[in-house]
Amino acid sequence: MPPASGFLADSPPGCLALRRLGMGMGKEGRRGWARSVWSMNCVLPVHMTAVERPGRRVVHVLRKYDPREWGGTETHVVEVTRRLAALGWGPEVHAPAGPSEPDRALGPEVPLLRYQAFCPFLGPAEKRRALIANAGNLATFDEPLRLAKDAGLALAHLHTAGRIGGAVRTAMRLTRRPYVISVHGPLLARKSWLEQDTARRLSGLMDMGRPIGWLFGARRVIQDAARVITFNEEERRALSEVIGDRAVRLDQGVDLERMAKGSAQRARERWPRFARARVVTLVGRISPQKNQVLAVRAFAAGAPEDHHLVLAGATVDAAYGEKLKREIQALGLGERVHVLGNLDAAREVPDLLALSRLVLVPSAHEAFGLAVLEAWAAGRPALLADHSGLADLAGAIGPEGLSVPTLEVEDWAQALRKALANPVRLDVAARAGAGQVRQRFSWDVVASKVAELYQAVLEEGARR
């Protein structure tokens, strides 16, 4: 779950920090349509009107925003939009219809608007639910209509491609306004893995959405973007071969203050079943990408008997979740492996990390690896796979860090065994990681670079 944010003292009773948004401005300056807007603890249908900063409004479009299934993309959007608002921009977040409970993660000055989207696949309900939860190619007609009518919008920032990305692309091109896109997953650099994973997820389903993708030019989302933001050098190089210097690389950040507030004692009180154990942790949504099955197998082969493995994260792939459970039971680890589900990022995750000796990040791919930064910010060593976005972090920390060059169980078991047997080595890695996040990985710096990118894009458009 996301971190909670502060309240506005001058908000009206029962509705905190609600503001009105520019939608479809006409000559009277107030034309538009009623939409549902989340802000802090309420949702109300409001008649949209202009915001205070004409020309600097930016809409961040996601394919999912669900506090019950929190991940790195959502963390990035929350942290960056809050700081963009402080820099004078007018960010807002658009996402498909989601849970009815109020959002408490976005800054009070960043509205959350829900749009209608649908899953254009026919097949078993469980597989369709998995697509909605994790990287499914959803479609929308609602969002492009909204964006096309919103004359007060300066720029769109996509955090998804596919058909939703194509819909936004079409709306922005028809109204001659730019858009940028952030790549939060594998694209060109890990194309074979992406193709295999897509084939696995779509097996047994019939895709009825191809005409929609064609209509919106979904295959042109990357090529027509003013900028494509990547979070690792491998992906930037691959994209630059296609779109040149419009491919840019940015770091991610981490909230040092939040992660430093973790308490091992609170963790012991909250989770008494492993309170006295020596804990190894993996934080990430239960999915093939995060590779919990590999972690369990390596733990079984390489961890001492007095250690417990804690897996924290929402299950977004039910079939993989069942596979994980079977693996835990088959290896006789039912008493030593604990699957906690989704945790509150503001309180529970820092506490769990404070209790941990070591954090595992054996992901099959990562655009960046926020879980590594959070471990380092909590003063804990991370054992990470040395590839994709994680390779940048392994390179940043250098030989003082802990990494594994393969995704072979034997290699991970050996690395885990060596690390847990050497407390001095763990301490060196923890100190080196903490130094990295203090020196380099700041959300303030990330937001400033994003703001500079926006300004450059808008100035380029004005010269055309």
Residue 24 included in any domain? no
Do residue 189 and residue 317 come from a single domain?
Answer: no
* Secondary structure letter of residue 279 according to DSSP: E
Cα–Cα distance, 155 to 158 (Å, whole number): 10
Three-class SS state of 232: coil
In a domain, 21, yes or no: no
Residue of 327, 252, 249 whose CA lies nearest to 288? 327
Question: What are the 10-residue block averages of pLDDT along the chain, 464 residues in total?
Answer: 41 33 34 39 34 71 88 93 96 89 85 94 88 83 97 96 97 97 89 84 91 96 98 95 97 94 97 96 95 98 98 93 98 98 93 98 94 97 95 96 97 98 98 95 96 96 82
Residues 269 and 199 in one domain: no
Based on the fold, state whether residues 448 and 435 are members of the same structural domain.
no
Domain containing residue 131:
34-253+443-463
DSSP 263-275: -HHHHHHH-GGGT
Alpha-carbon distance values, 273 to 217, 279, 307 (Å) = 52, 11, 12
End-to-end CA distance of the chain: 43
d(CA 385, CA 95): 31
- The reported pLDDT for the residue numbered 456 is 97
Domain count, the chain: 2
**Is residue 247 domain-shared with residue 285, that is, in the same domain?**
no
Q: What is the DSSP letter of 89?
A: -
Same domain, 203 and 76: yes
Give me the pLDDT at residue 58, please.
98
Prediction pTM value = 0.84
Instruction: Flag whether 26 is in a domain.
Output: no
CATH code: domain of residue 68: 3.40.50.2000
Residue 239: Cβ within 10 Å count:
22
What pLDDT was estimated at residue 74? 92
Can you give the pLDDT at residue 135? 64
Instruction: Tell me the C-alpha distance between 65 and 73, whole Å.
Output: 9
CA distance 101 to 269: 27
CB 93 within 8 A of CB 60: yes
Q: Could you tell me if 128 and 205 are in contact, meaning their C-beta atoms sit under 8 angstroms apart? A: yes
Assess contact for 400 and 429: CB atoms under 8 A.
yes
